[in-house]
């Protein structure tokens, strides 16, 4: 059954446009409180990133939850995975994150975590949406929820992050540049790395409510690359606005993306016999990663694009490690959701444990050239049953043979057909992708 408001990662949109409005957030708080709190009430945590609209949404959610008889603990600006962790350890009924992740400041959204610190199941999201169709019924005064602030939230999460790093290791000999995207990690991330012994240079730690992800962070890493080279640092780490993803930069200022970081973590685990099962990537994971794992007979599986689908496969296969090219890495042997700080510490553990630089470790994976062409269409054709497109696809696959792969799929949010081709030779990739894109464009004209 299609959901009206929930997407693959909660509810998201432009502030002031339905559903990211004060009245909807009030009712969402009430509906979520009724479903997640149940008849017994209980406590729900609320954390947020640094967007100016977080104040508005936080207040509206708090009022709705209170009306449903739910006590609220406010965490303030905290990374998304911190709310997942604290929800679980504080035995709360649920956790709510106010964030639009890597989007511009004018957007915002809501993410939910269950009592176990995991994303909500589809049936729970359906139940919340069904409750939204009802009129708000406010509890009597003696049954309203109360609100309080959890003053030591940051310290609890910092200690948790540090606990995921091997006790016998330290970062004493590393100089690291940390880019917090003027977002949710700006207070906690520098402390984690400093307390583990690193010399830390920080950028993107001056949020003003409007500058989140603006010129900084994992989606705009140019300032990080520049800072690493200028400071002669060993490496750099950039988080996104809500702290659940990262990318890294080696000592020469070269980007190390999510696929390469996944490779580094997996191979370190493999080397000490601690890799449980295989690794889950997505349809967009670079073919070079799949081939690198194949050389070591490490099982690899592709999920749909989105951390929700990576998590589904991990749980289904009982594997512990997966992630996306964007840097959303899930280390289930350490935590319950994607966590940028925790994942970066697993990479640093590989650097320390193997006595090699990040550049040397990432070099073990050959990154194949990839080209993505977005073909704008008035109406999306049925790709599977369009004879001309299917003929062109078979011809393209024959031309690549076993040196590459092709992904042809409609966008879920825009009038686009995405043509992705990757392979060992750049010129061949470009040629195949353009020919296939031209066929799709003509077929959809």
CA 171 to chain centre: 25
- Provide Rg for the chain, Cα atoms: 23
* 433 Cβ neighbours under 8 A, 6+ residues apart: 371, 373, 419, 420, 421
CB 117 within 8 A of CB 84: yes
CB 349 within 8 A of CB 169: yes
CB 314 within 8 A of CB 332: yes
In degrees and rounded to multiples of 5, residue 325 shows phi and psi of -60, -30
CB 182 within 8 A of CB 205: yes
Q: Where are the beta strands (DSSP E) in 288-441?
A: 300-303, 321-323, 329-331, 370-376, 404-410, 416-423
Q: Identify which of 410, 411, 416, 408 has the alpha carbon closest to the alpha carbon of residue 392.
A: 408
Catalytic site includes residue 101: yes
- Give the full edge-to-edge strand order of the sheet including 94-98: 11-14, 107-113, 94-98, 43-48, 71-77, 147-149
From the list 66, 99, 101, 218, the catalytic residue is 101
Q: Where are the beta strands (DSSP E) in 204-245?
A: 235-239
Characterize 196-233 residue by residue with b for buried, 16 or more Cβ atoms within 10 angstroms of its Cβ, and e for exposed: bebbbbbbbbebeeebbbeebbbbbbebbbebbbeeeb
CB 79 within 8 A of CB 67: no
The Cα–Cα gap between 11 and 28 comes to 10
CB 294 within 8 A of CB 270: no
Q: Catalytic residue positions?
A: 101
């Amino acid at each position: 059954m299609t959901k009206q408001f929930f997407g693959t990662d909660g509810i998201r949109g432009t502030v002031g446009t339905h559903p990211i409005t004060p009245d909807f957030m009030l009712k969402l708080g009430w509906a979520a409180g009724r479903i997640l709190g149940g008849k017994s009430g209980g406590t729900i945590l609320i954390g947020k990133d640094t967007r100016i609209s977080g104040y508005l949404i936080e207040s509206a959610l708090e009022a709705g939850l209170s009306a449903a008889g739910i006590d609220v603990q406010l965490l303030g600006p905290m990374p998304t995975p911190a709310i997942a962790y604290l929800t679980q350890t504080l035995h709360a009924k649920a956790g709510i994150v106010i964030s639009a992740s890597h989007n511009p400041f004018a957007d915002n959204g809501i993410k939910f975590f269950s009592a176990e610190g995991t994303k909500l199941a589809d049936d729970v999201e359906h139940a919340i949406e069904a409750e939204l169709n009802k009129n708000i019924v406010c509890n009597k005064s003696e049954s309203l929820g109360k609100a309080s602030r959890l003053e030591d939230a940051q310290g609890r999460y910092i200690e948790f992050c540090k606990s995921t790093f091997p006790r016998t290791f330290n970062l004493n000999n590393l100089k690291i540049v940390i880019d917090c995207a003027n977002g949710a990690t700006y207070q906690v991330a520098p402390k984690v790395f400093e307390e583990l012994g690193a010399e830390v240079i920080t950028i993107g730690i001056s949020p003003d409510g409007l500058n989140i992800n603006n010129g900084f962070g994992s989606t705009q890493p140019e300032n990080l690359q520049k800072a690493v080279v200028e400071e002669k640092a060993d490496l750099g780490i950039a988080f996104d606005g809500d702290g659940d993803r990262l990318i890294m930069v080696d000592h020469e200022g070269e980007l190390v993306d999510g696929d390469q970081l996944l490779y580094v973590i997996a191979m370190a685990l493999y080397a000490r016999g601690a890799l449980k099962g295989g690794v889950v990537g997505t349809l967009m994971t670079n073919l070079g990663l799949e081939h690198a794992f194949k050389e070591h007979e490490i099982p690899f599986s592709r999920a749909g694009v989105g951390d929700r689908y990576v998590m589904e496969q991990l749980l289904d296969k009982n594997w512990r490690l997966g992630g996306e090219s964007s840097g959303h890495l899930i280390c289930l042997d350490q935590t319950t959701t994607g966590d940028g700080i925790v994942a970066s510490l697993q990479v640093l553990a590989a650097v320390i444990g193997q006595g090699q630089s990040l550049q040397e470790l990432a070099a073990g994976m050959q990154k194949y050239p990839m080209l993505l062409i977005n073909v704008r269409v008035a109406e999306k054709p049925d790709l599977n049953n369009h004879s001309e497109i299917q003929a062109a696809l078979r011809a393209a696959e024959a031309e690549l043979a076993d040196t590459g792969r092709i992904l042809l799929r409609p966008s879920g949010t825009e009038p686009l057909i995405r043509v992705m081709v990757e392979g060992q030779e750049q010129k061949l990739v470009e040629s195949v992708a353009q020919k296939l894109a031209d066929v799709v464009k003509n077929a959809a004209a």
